[in-house]
Amino acid sequence: MSAPDPRQAALDAVLALVVELGEDMQHGLAALGLTPARSHVLWQLRATGPAHQRVLAEALRTSPRNVTGLVDGLQQAGLVSRNAHPTDRRAVVVALTDAGEQLVDGLEAGQQELAGVLFADRPDSEIAVVADVLAAAVDRLRVAVATAPTVRGSA
């Protein structure tokens, strides 16, 4: 379609990857009885260890109400447990169960495998450029979002 702006082409590729990646992830998670939102909770707990629901809500950038629902589902699936806070009887501490921890380990293994599939047959030098440029893009986007209310993409 007539060689466009290289930046536009790069963004197009990113967006296409987003779509494809998102669908594959969703299918993979569904096969494990998970949803993207619930897997976020698991990843977060694994990164930070046991956490208050309020802290989880902030980290996931969602409402406390939503965390209640997500933790409900994960607890029912036996992937997390709700524990009493040692000093604050209002607070709930959410922690990964053994099954939950095992499941996230599996997700991480899948992710590494995925990285291999996506970038196979490409020299490390190119991959390094991609990682560098995209990491910088994330930073720029964060700054832009913080400055202006919204930069605006689409999908």
Residues that bind DNA (CB under 7 A): 35-38, 52-54, 57, 60, 62-71, 73, 82, 85, 87-93
Binding residue for a second copy, selected from 1, 6, 65, 90, defined by CB under 8 A: 6
> How far is Cα 79 from Cα 23, in angstroms, rounded to an integer?
23
The site string for a second copy over 55-74 (x = CB under 8 A, - otherwise) reads ------x-------------
99 in contact with a second copy (CB under 8 A): no
Residue 65 touches which of a second copy, DNA, none (Cβ within 5-8 Å per kind): DNA
Two tokens, residue 123: 């020299």
H/E element, 1: none
Q: How far apart are CA 82 and CA 50, in angstroms?
A: 9
- Per CB under 8 A, the list member of 13, 47, 84, 99 interacting with a second copy is 13
Q: How many CB atoms lie within 10 A of CB 79?
A: 26
Phi and psi angles of residue 68, each rounded to the nearest 5 degrees, phi first? -50, -50
When CB distances are held under 5 to 8 angstroms depending on the partner's kind, the choice from a second copy, DNA, none that residue 14 binds is a second copy
| Rounded CA separation 129/135 (Å) | 10
**Binding-site size, a second copy (CB under 8 A):** 68
Task: Compute the distance between CA of residue 80 and CA of residue 74 in angstroms, rounded to an integer.
Answer: 6
Task: Tell me whether residue 63 or residue 102 sits nearer to DNA (CB atom).
Answer: 63
52 touches, from DNA, a second copy, none (C-beta below 5 to 8 Å by class)? DNA
